[in-house]
Structure 1
């Protein structure tokens, strides 16, 4: 099970403030309400959950001839040359 916000725009306003649609170079997430942080943490998956999902995908791969790849970008250094490219073809 993966949690996502029910009302994305309300969530974004709660997390980033009312001006969330316009980038703010001085933005800081230090003042995020605890309630928002609590539910945001539920949307994250752990390395163990990632491995479990990958194993399930591998087990079901015979049912889907072109399954694609599940990439947890949060577990990678986004500035490393080892980050897998997302081939959208």
Structure 2
């Protein structure tokens, strides 16, 4: 395996791990905000949090995570090209 391919695999691995950590932490935070009742049901912000939380746990949330991973890899490649 050449050095270029190894670097690309490392880029994908870092992006996947980073987004997975953010995804899990974000899901836990949103779930706790809704579950613990930090917001009243009549609050204007409650509807937004509930919508995002339900999307986060759906297939749309998983698809958006894949898009975010792809974007993270592209950004990492651009940053590496600026450094070289």
Q: Give TM class, smaller chain.
A: 0.3 to 0.5
Higher RCO structure (Cα 8 Å, ≥6 apart): 2
Q: TM-score w.r.t. structure 2 length?
A: 0.34
Give the helix-richer structure, 1 or 2.
Answer: 2
